């Protein structure tokens, strides 16, 4: 019987957190997702494959839809929060089917750590979510942003320039996390950006993490949402430790915070 360890569960929690879910809804869904991953691992998949397949079936827009339904209902009848949560989850798994995993006699396919049955929703695979998770664990990007996307006066060069990303406040050595599954296409020194990591995601998205003190992944590595890829630093043209974070769509920079509204 397979039971996810704390680090593996944290990866699932990071996916739920990236959707901005309430603590109550995250707790309700955590069992469903962990149980599904355990079931896949019981069939022979390794954790990276199992978590990628499972979380891809629960895209961020789907999770936000559930949260939106709950918020709408609870505004009308606050006393029915638990019922609303259950109803929203039921709606979310309306088209789901059970995973039939062989198990030894007396042992269920889902571990006792998670009581929910292992279900996976049938989702249109073409609906790809942009990378919207925070690269700094435990903090929303808007709460630690020191410089936003768009035109600004460069703090060192003192020139008006287009800021292609956002700057996030963090201490040197703070872990930097992948904001979506993807493939590392660059990891090394990149001029004024200093030590930089670039990750290619589905549907033409690329994320850029700059001014790092180190990178813990290499070009060609495949990473998953929430995986540590680097550490915050002040390399390149930087006044102090922080993370410069960019999101590009088809090679064009977009505002990372604007993607949260999609």
CATH of 141-261, one of 3.40.50.720, 2.60.40.10, 3.90.730.10, 2.70.70.10: 2.70.70.10
10 Cβ neighbours under 8 A, 6+ residues apart: 226
Exposure of 253 by Cβ count < 10 A (0-12 exposed, 13-18 middle, 19+ buried)?
middle
* Dihedral angle computed from the Cα positions of residues 94, 82, 112 and 224, in that order, rounded to the nearest 10 degrees: 60
Confidence of residue 95 (pLDDT cuts 50, 70, 90): very low
Exposure of 78 by Cβ count < 10 A (0-12 exposed, 13-18 middle, 19+ buried)?
exposed
Which residue, among 89, 154, 182, 213, has the nearest Cα to 198 in the 3D structure? 182
The number of residues making up the chain comes to 262
* Structure-model confidence comparison of residues 85 and 239, the more confident one: 239
- Tokens describing residue 161: 């320039």
* Dihedral angle computed from the Cα positions of residues 47, 113, 42 and 227, in that order, rounded to the nearest 10 degrees: 0
Q: What is the pLDDT of residue 119?
A: 39
- How far separated are the first and last CA of the chain, in Å rounded? 39
Among 8-17, 170-179, 209-218, 221-230, name the one with the lowest average pLDDT: 8-17
Q: What is the pLDDT of residue 39?
A: 87
63 Cβ neighbours under 8 A, 6+ residues apart: 16, 19, 21, 29
Residue ranges of the chain assigned to CATH 2.70.70.10 = 141-261
pTM flag (> 0.85): no
């Amino acid at each position: 019987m397979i039971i996810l360890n704390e680090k593996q569960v944290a990866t699932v929690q990071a996916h739920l957190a990236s959707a901005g879910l309430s603590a109550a809804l995250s707790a309700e869904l955590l069992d469903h997702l962990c149980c599904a991953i355990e079931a896949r691992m019981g069939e022979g998949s390794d954790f990276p494959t199992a978590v990628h397949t499972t979380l891809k079936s629960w895209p961020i827009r789907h999770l936000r839809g559930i949260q939106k339904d709950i918020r709408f209902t609870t505004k009308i009848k606050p006393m029915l929060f638990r019922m609303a949560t259950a109803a929203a989850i039921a709606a979310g798994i309306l088209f789901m089917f059970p995973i039939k995993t062989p198990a030894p006699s007396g042992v269920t396919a889902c571990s006792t750590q998670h009581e929910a049955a292992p279900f996976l929703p049938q989702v249109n695979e073409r609906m790809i979510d942009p990378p919207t998770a925070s690269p700094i664990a435990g903090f929303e990007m808007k709460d630690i942003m020191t410089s936003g996307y768009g035109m600004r006066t460069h703090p060192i060069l003192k020139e008006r320039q287009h800021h292609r990303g956002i700057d996030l406040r963090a201490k040197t050595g703070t872990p930097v996390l992948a904001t979506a599954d993807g493939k590392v296409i660059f990891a090394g020194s990149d001029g004024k950006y200093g030590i930089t990591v670039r990750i290619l995601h589905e549907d033409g998205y690329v994320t850029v993490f700059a001014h790092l003190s180190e990178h813990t992944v290499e070009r060609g590595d495949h990473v998953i949402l929430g995986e540590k890829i680097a550490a915050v630093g002040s390399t390149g043209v930087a006044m102090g430790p922080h993370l410069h974070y960019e999101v590009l769509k088809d090679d064009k920079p977009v505002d990372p915070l604007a993607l949260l509204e999609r």
